[in-house]
Structure 1
Amino acid sequence: MTRRTAARSSRRYRGRSTDQLRAERRQRLMETALAHIGEAGYASLTIEKLCSAAKVSTRHFYEHFRSREALLAALFDQFSEEAARVIGERLAGDTEDPVERALDAVSAFVRFALEEPARARLAFIEIVGVSPDMEARRREAIGRFTALIAQAGEHLASRGALPQQHYHLAAVALVGATNELLVEWLDGRTGLSAAGMERAIIDLFRTLILGARVRSGAPG
């Protein structure tokens, strides 16, 4: 860092440093973009409209994001990282029953997704079809969640709670089903509250686990 850069970073404006102001501007841009996408969709978001609502200049926008799509990617990455953290924490929890621990992780993910509908709409609806790069990013995130579900299934199998088999395809099916159920809820076609949707998804997972146990003769 040069002396001039260090001096700029140490300047204070109304008690805040330059770095703090930059971080605040970035956060305002992301929060304002998310609110707009949740209400009106990504396609209608322009950089000018966003900067006006966030009270940020377009020059400052380009200090943080090279394009509108880069901002969308940052929001999606934030969702994916936080969701993975929520799932990981629950899978590593101290619930003795491994099935209940797995179901608790699914429940925590659904609750996280639906507690802020704008965030869920961005992750499950608005990101679809934006560009090949964004689709690759979306598929990569789906792959990570699929791997988590498959690992949970294999862990349950190692504990005798499920039959011994590879769980990749089952995980793909469950992630896809969960995605579509959340889209149905976001579009208002289920008639369920967020808590009701969470119960419906958990019931689906529980039923599939029970069916696998019955088929294999594993203890229930």
Structure 2
Amino acid sequence: MADTAAAGDRALSKSETVYRQLRERILSGRYSAGYRLVLDRLAREFTVSAVPVREAVRRLEAEGLVTFTQNVGAEVTGIDTADYTDTMQVLAYLEGAATALAAPLLDTARLDEAAALNERMRALYGADFDPVRFTELNERFHRLLCAPCPNGHLLELLDREWQRMALIRRSTFSFVPARPAASLDEHEHILALLRGGAPAEEIERTTRAHILRTMEAYLEAGRRP
């Protein structure tokens, strides 16, 4: 029994090692969209069996970084630009409206929590930047500000679009490395408007513009040679 447990620990360690290295290569752009992850070849490269490689690739698939296609296998997930653009535009307008409606109901505790999330994102933005984690915290920030919105139907629509964006790709910040810093500053501006009781129209307009700037940064990056 002990030998079996020890073997399991070793296998887990190998899987974790492969997972972290593959993830870093994808997020850094070394493995770009469409790059095929051939399990046998990766197993030889990492000097492991195919099992930990398969486990690592499955984790990456769950994160939306890898896609399995029949008769093709595992490959790095790309982004459908048209779908991404449509979804971001919808998110911009829905979030703008939801944040403006939620503004009178946002208490100090919730705003402080949002500010703390923004600081956690800022701490991530450095040499060891993790765009997937950054994106997760970014979504939590926006959900937190929208949550008190009294229009339940609007929140349902917004949740559906957040889920759609997660299916397109969990993170786009790896493609626009200069965008996170500006995004964090824009978060602070939105929080200042909310704390200061700014007009609903200004809150809605500022939130919408903030989201559209991320979309525009991604599209601009895609146009570069």
TM-score range, shorter chain: 0.3 to 0.5
Q: Flag the structure with larger Rg.
A: 1
TM-score for the superposition, normalised by structure 2 = 0.45
Structure with bigger RCO (C-alpha 8 Å, 6+ apart): 2
